[in-house]
Amino acid sequence: MTADIDEPARVVYQEAEQQLYRRTDFLFGILFVVQFIAVVAAALILTPRTWSGAESSVHMHVWAGLGLGALLTAMPLVLIALRRGQAVTRYTIAVSQMLFSALLIHLTGGRIEAHFHIFGSLAFLAFYRDWRLLIPATGVILVDHLARGIFWPESVFGVLTASPWRAFEHAGWVLFEDVFLTVSCVQARREMKQIATSRARIEGAYADAERVIEERTSELESRTAALEQSEERFRLAVQGSQDGLWDWNLVSKKVYYAPQWKQLIGFAEDEIGDSPDEWFSRITSEHLAAFHEAITELSDGRSQVLDIELEMTHADGESRWMLCRAAAQKDANGVVTRLAGSLADISELKAAQERLRILAHHDRLTGLPNRGVFTERVSHAVALAKRDPERKFAVLFGDFDGFKTVNDSLGHGVGDAMLVRAARCFREELRDTDTVARMGGDEFAVLLDNVESGKDAMRLAGRLIDAFRGPYMLKGHEVVSTLSLGLVMSGPEYESAEDMLRDADAAMYQAKTTGKSQVRIFDEKMHQAALQRLDTERALRQATRDMDAMDAELRLQYQPIIDLTNGSTVGFEALVRWEHPTEGLISPDMFIPVAEESGSIIPIGHWTLRRAAERMAAWRKEFGPDRKLVMNVNLSRRQLSDLGLLPMLKRVLEETGVRPQDLKLELTETAMMDSRIDAITVMNKIRELGISLAMDDFGTGQSSLSCLRQFPIQTLKIDRSFLLNITQKREFSAVVHAIIALAYNLNLDIVAEGLEDESQLAQLQAMDCTYAQGYFFSPPVDVAEATRVLRQNVLCLGKNAA
Amino acid sequence: MRLVAKVRIAWVGVVLGLWAVAVVVAFGALWRYGNTPGEQDVLPAGWVAPGALGLADDRPTLVLFAHPRCPCTRATMTALERLQRDVPGGFAARVVFYEPEGADASWRETDLWARAGKLVDCRVVADPGSEIAASVGALVSGHVVLFDGDGAAQFCGGLTSSRGHEGDSVGFLAVRAILRDLEPVSREAKVYGCSIKGSNCSVTCDDARG
């Protein structure tokens, strides 16, 4: 029945067909119930009782109506309930319905009117639009009516013999209706198919549309989700940033202020309206005009963005620094219609900037201007003096005598308090027009502006020195720390502030070295010395530019270290010498300080260590591994703080082949105690390389015994100053004795430096001093002599013995 | 096909089969009931109509014996009405209604009494105790005897083909043929209807005939 339509239409058609069957089944269910009631009622009305004379009983038709009617009703109802829409139900309904017609006709006495029920039943069956149902229905009619007409003609036709023509007529009318209904069913089915086809197409199109809609919806949902995420991010960002957003509609002249915006200036949501004046009225008068101008430029299109700092009045009456940023939105005509942006409270940032500015220009401890500010002011004064030669000014450079002692012995707290007091004293003693600055450490500098002459400057300087002359109490301690000052007067020879400061420093150095607590004015002699120093520095820089240059001008000398128990040479101290091409041999006392200050000590130290290591490796090769021999090399404070020291040591060890235990680095007590260097860490790393360490010039510094234990040293070298007086002064002898005892207790080797005569040797031997070096045994000698000494082995005691 | 489905189909088939048998049996019983004629006696020869009937001497007289409350007799009354329409003025009619002994007025207030009263040229007679009916051998409601003008019985039997069944029947067609002076296919027919001889009937046919 569905072969002529495609699959989607077939599905729709079968669905509609099934709905039709089920709906018609239901209608027939109702019909059967009604028919049953009608049949019983008809029997009760027409033939309620049957009589036999005066007696009566219930008529057979009533029982037939009830029984047979129930039988014909029950089965269709059961099937409708259990198998609604199925073929068995439809066919059973068709048969039952026609039997109902037969029953009704019978019970109503075969009236012609009752026969209409047959035609009605057939028509009713056509509700199924299934002509096949007419076959069993017509079959029932044939069996019930036509067959009886043939075999019992009187019961149908009222005659004793069969009437083929009447039978044909009866059948003809039934067939007529069958044909009519069949055509009707076929047409209805065709219409159903057309509808199904159309519906399938519509549903197909609908499914396509739904799929597209679903895809679009999914896409939209994704975009919406992304948008929500973006909004959420934006919201969190805004919340996190603490910025207050605002949105100014230039058309409506209303401003939307976000709650955060209002909170920034201390107002609640309902306390600020949507007028621009709400904003303008809270901008301080100093910034109002600039803000107006910036807003006007933005709204006129003259600027693309707004980025301005302004002060606004907070609800608490205080002013707050705000950073206002905004951008403009234009309409299709390019006219700005909207400004939107944010407001951020930058008060803390501003305060921090101000603090940084102060810190950048002032000393944190004393509050005085720092070196940068001072240099700038001196530069300014130099420039002014150049334009106006009559204008005189002076620069004082001061340093407190014994400040380090105070700092180390009484602690940094007292040292700081002393500096604060000093700053206060400077301010009190000087004029408002003068500038005093802390240059670093305990160094101060003063710019005495507009002084008449050097005498005026000297008088002011003297007043300052007097102010610090007497002892004073700091944190419960009596402190004496005098001031040494260097003074330099302005003059045409000075081109820069640095030159003046350098000379003032030199003068101050002169004051310190010639008695302290005094002022020295920079003079020509100092100037010449400074020039000399500059020449030395320049020549040194040239001499140390590379290893070849250093090989050309530097050379090493070796001073033997003698074992006092047997007179054997157990080591050498490598000492660098500078042989200037024109000046000749320059004393280490002359060039080492300059090298230290200029930084040339780093390449010199490197060169010294490398060449000494090479020499030591050569000696080790010559004298074998068992010969007790160590090469001592001096390490300056500057080298100790050099980050390249350790890599350089590793390279030297690798490249020269010297054994680490054959090297010993000598560090002065002062270098080790330098608070700016993490000396212990560096020393430990040196020890990790296997290189020994010695404390040089012990006794001249200010190290405590506890510090001595912390340093990873193996040797103490007693400063030569102790040996100079060891034979004349008992206390020196006692100190040396104590140092030697201390070294033994700390399991350190002890080397006495500067041994010059036999009495000193005797003393040291009496004190069980193990090692010594000095001119008594040998001055520093060149490599050939040193090698000879080694070959001779027992050198000095032999001399002594001799 | 799964076994469960097969069993279900078999069950449906069995139930439908049983149902069909029940329907056939029930229809058979109903048909049998409707087509079972009542008993009847033969009209005695030389029977003389009682004066209450007053047979017409110039035309045939059709006498109907009926139970006033028999529903099946409505079809006979309909057939009689139809005969009057088919052969107008062709016969006189007499309807003899059974009445039990001591019957109240309600026995004469039935629809059949009313319809009989509306017949043309008809006399309605009560027959208490069914004496008249018994005399002509009418034992079932719907029994008809057609007398000619001479009082000779021309037809005896029922006018319906079964109980209460309207329409043509052998009896109806025979009576109508006689009234039209045609040769009937039969001069007697089976009678279908309620018995007009009650169980307490004290008069037998033979008694009535004397």
pLDDT at A88: 92
Of the candidates A406, A426, A412, the residue with the CA atom closest to the CA atom of residue A471: A406
Of the candidates A329, A322, A307, the residue with the CA atom closest to the CA atom of residue A242: A322
Closest Cα of chain A to B57: distance in Å? 31
Closest-CA residue of chain A to B186: A160
In Å, what is the CA distance from A247 to each residue of A252, A300, A326, A328, A341? Answer: 11, 17, 9, 10, 7
Rounded to 10 deg, the angle between the A412-429 and A403-410 helix axes is: 140
Report the pLDDT averaged over residues A336-353: 88
Cβ-defined contact of A155 to B103 (cutoff 8 Å): no
Phi and psi for B146 in degrees, rounded to 5?
A: -105, 120
Cβ-defined contact of B194 to A52 (cutoff 8 Å): yes
pLDDT at A699: 75
B204 pLDDT exceeds 60? no
Residue A413's beta-bridge partner residues?
none
Closest Cα of chain A to B111: distance in Å? 12
Q: What is the pLDDT of residues A433-454, one digit of tens each?
A: 889 999 888 899 999 988 888 8
The percentage of residues in chain B with a pLDDT greater than 70, rounded to a whole number, is: 93
Measure CB to CB from residue B198 to each of A48, A53, A75 and give the nearest one: A53
Closest Cα of chain B to A47: distance in Å? 5
Cβ-defined contact of A50 to B71 (cutoff 8 Å): yes
Report the pLDDT averaged over residues B64-70: 94
User: Contacts of residue B33 in chain A, CB cutoff 8 Å?
Assistant: 60, 64
Measure CB to CB from residue A46 to each of B71, B100, B167 and give the nearest one: B71
Cβ-defined contact of A155 to B35 (cutoff 8 Å): yes
B209 pLDDT exceeds 50? no
pLDDT at A614: 95
Looking at the complex, does the CB of residue A103 fall below 8 Å from at least one CB of chain B? yes
Q: Where are the beta strands (DSSP E) in A615-765?
A: 630-635, 663-668, 692-698, 715-718, 749-753
Report the pLDDT averaged over residues A230-234: 80
pLDDT at B208: 40
**What is the token pair recorded at B182?**
């045609």
Closest-CA residue of chain B to A83: B12
Q: Which DSSP string corresponds to A231-296?
A: HHHHHHHHHHHTPEEEEEETTTTEEEE-HHHHHHTT--GGGS-S-THHHHTTB-HHHHHHHHHHHH
A545 pLDDT exceeds 90? no
C-alpha A701, offset from chain centre: 47
Closest Cα of chain B to A64: distance in Å? 7
Cβ-defined contact of A106 to B172 (cutoff 8 Å): no
Query: Between A and B, how many residue pairs show a Cβ–Cβ distance under 8 A?
Result: 113
Q: What is the pLDDT of residues A156-213, one digit of tens each?
A: 777 766 677 877 888 888 889 999 999 999 999 999 889 888 888 888 888 888 899 9
User: Contacts of residue B158 in chain A, CB cutoff 8 Å?
Assistant: none
Q: Token match 């041994």: residue?
A: A755
Task: Compute the residue count for chain A.
Answer: 802
Superfamily, domain B61-209: Glutaredoxin (3.40.30.10)
Interface probe for B, chosen from A32, A49, A50 (most Cβ of B below 10 Å), is A50
Under the banding of pLDDT at 50, 70 and 90, the label for residue B95 is very high
User: Contacts of residue A110 in chain B, CB cutoff 8 Å?
Assistant: 162, 165-167
Residue A642 to residue A645: CA distance in whole angstroms? 6
pLDDT at A2: 62
A544 pLDDT exceeds 50? yes
Cβ-defined contact of A71 to B67 (cutoff 8 Å): no
Residue B32 to residue A410: CA distance in whole angstroms? 145
**What is the token pair recorded at A476?**
């419960």
- Confirm if A648 and A591 have CB atoms less than 8 A apart: no
Number of other CB atoms surrounding residue A196 within 10 Å: 24
Closest Cα of chain B to A175: distance in Å? 23
In Å, what is the CA distance from A518 to each residue of A25, A284, A419, A462? Answer: 131, 55, 19, 8
Q: What is the pLDDT of residues A645-692, one digit of tens each?
A: 999 999 999 999 999 999 999 998 878 876 555 788 899 999 999 999
Prediction ipTM score: 0.87
User: Contacts of residue A49 in chain B, CB cutoff 8 Å?
Assistant: 69, 71
B182 pLDDT exceeds 60? yes
Residue B165 to residue B161: CA distance in whole angstroms? 6
Mean residue pLDDT of chain A comes to 87
Q: Which DSSP string corresponds to A448-476?
A: EES-SSHHHHHHHHHHHHHHTTS-EEETT
Measure CB to CB from residue B194 to each of A50, A112, A159 and give the nearest one: A50
Cβ-defined contact of A112 to B103 (cutoff 8 Å): no
User: Contacts of residue A52 in chain B, CB cutoff 8 Å?
Assistant: 194-195, 197-199
Helix (H, G, I), strand (E, B) or coil at A78: helix
Residue A692 to residue A688: CA distance in whole angstroms? 9
Report the pLDDT averaged over residues A763-785: 91
C-alpha B123, offset from chain centre: 18
- Confirm if A117 and A174 have CB atoms less than 8 A apart: no
CA angle at residue A327 from A321 to A332, to 5 degrees? 160
User: Contacts of residue B27 in chain A, CB cutoff 8 Å?
Assistant: 68, 99, 102-103, 144
The percentage of residues in chain A with a pLDDT greater than 90, rounded to a whole number, is: 38
Report the pLDDT averaged over residues A231-242: 72
Closest Cα of chain B to A182: distance in Å? 26
Interface probe for B, chosen from A39, A49, A51 (most Cβ of B below 10 Å), is A51
Mean residue pLDDT of chain B comes to 87
DSSP state of B195: B
Closest-CA residue of chain B to A82: B12
Phi and psi for A108 in degrees, rounded to 5?
A: -95, 15
pLDDT at A599: 84
Closest Cα of chain B to A197: distance in Å? 31
A771-773 and A554-563 beta bridge pairing = antiparallel
A796 pLDDT exceeds 60? no
Measure CB to CB from residue A51 to each of B70, B167, B170 and give the nearest one: B70
Cβ-defined contact of B26 to A64 (cutoff 8 Å): yes
Cβ-defined contact of A53 to B130 (cutoff 8 Å): yes
Helix (H, G, I), strand (E, B) or coil at A435: strand
Residue A39 to residue A110: CA distance in whole angstroms? 14
Residue B25 to residue B31: CA distance in whole angstroms? 10
Closest-CA residue of chain A to B164: A109
B202 pLDDT exceeds 60? no
B115 pLDDT exceeds 80? yes
Closest-CA residue of chain A to B129: A53
Residues 158..177 of A with a Cβ closer than 8 Å to B: which? 158-160
CA angle at residue A686 from A680 to A688, to 5 degrees? 105
pLDDT at B205: 40
Closest-CA residue of chain B to A92: B16
Q: What is the pLDDT of residues B151-176, one digit of tens each?
A: 888 999 999 988 888 888 899 999 99
Amino acid at residue number B87: V
Residue A566 to residue A800: CA distance in whole angstroms? 11
Q: What is the pLDDT of residues A274-306, one digit of tens each?
A: 999 999 999 998 889 999 999 999 888 888 888
Closest-CA residue of chain B to A61: B30
User: Contacts of residue B35 in chain A, CB cutoff 8 Å?
Assistant: 152, 155
User: Contacts of residue A155 in chain B, CB cutoff 8 Å?
Assistant: 31, 35, 161-162, 165
Q: What is the pLDDT of residues A490-528, one digit of tens each?
A: 888 888 888 899 889 888 888 887 777 888 888 878 878
Cβ-defined contact of B167 to A158 (cutoff 8 Å): yes
Closest Cα of chain A to B16: distance in Å? 8
Residue B184 to residue B170: CA distance in whole angstroms? 9
Cβ-defined contact of B170 to A159 (cutoff 8 Å): yes
Looking at the complex, does the CB of residue A46 fall below 8 Å from at least one CB of chain B? yes
User: Contacts of residue B201 in chain A, CB cutoff 8 Å?
Assistant: 53
User: Contacts of residue A65 in chain B, CB cutoff 8 Å?
Assistant: none
Of the candidates A437, A519, A427, A425, the residue with the CA atom closest to the CA atom of residue A479: A425
Q: What b-and-e string marks burial along A450-466, b requiring 16 or more CB atoms within 10 Å of the CB?
A: ebeeeeebbebbeebbe
**Which range, A235-239, A251-255, A700-704, is most confident?**
A251-255
Those residues whose C-beta lies under 8 Å from the C-beta of residue B153, and which sit 6 or more positions away, are: B43, B47, B145, B146, B147
The percentage of residues in chain A with a pLDDT greater than 70, rounded to a whole number, is: 96
Residue A726 to residue A406: CA distance in whole angstroms? 29
Looking at the complex, does the CB of residue A154 fall below 8 Å from at least one CB of chain B? yes
Q: What is the pLDDT of residues A14-73, one digit of tens each?
A: 888 999 999 999 999 999 999 999 999 999 998 999 998 888 899 999 999 999 999 999
Closest-CA residue of chain A to B168: A158
User: Contacts of residue A53 in chain B, CB cutoff 8 Å?
Assistant: 67, 98, 100, 130, 195-201
Under the banding of pLDDT at 50, 70 and 90, the label for residue B199 is very low
pLDDT at A795: 52
Residue A521's beta-bridge partner residues?
A487
In Å, what is the CA distance from A5 to each residue of A13, A14, A129, A130, A203? Answer: 9, 11, 18, 18, 15
Q: Token match 């009263």: residue?
A: B117
Helix (H, G, I), strand (E, B) or coil at A155: helix
Sign of the Cα torsion B141, B145, B146, B147 reads: negative
Closest Cα of chain B to A75: distance in Å? 8
Residue A416 to residue A441: CA distance in whole angstroms? 10
**Range in A197-206, A236-245, A452-461, B92-101 the model is least confident about:** A236-245
Residue A490 to residue A385: CA distance in whole angstroms? 8
Q: What is the pLDDT of residues A75-133, one digit of tens each?
A: 999 999 999 999 999 999 999 999 999 999 888 888 888 889 999 999 999 999 999 99
Under the banding of pLDDT at 50, 70 and 90, the label for residue B203 is very low
pLDDT at B198: 57
Looking at the complex, does the CB of residue A55 fall below 8 Å from at least one CB of chain B? yes
Closest-CA residue of chain B to A48: B71
Cβ-defined contact of B22 to A103 (cutoff 8 Å): no
Q: What is the pLDDT of residues A372-422, one digit of tens each?
A: 889 999 999 999 888 888 888 999 999 888 787 777 777 888 888 889 988
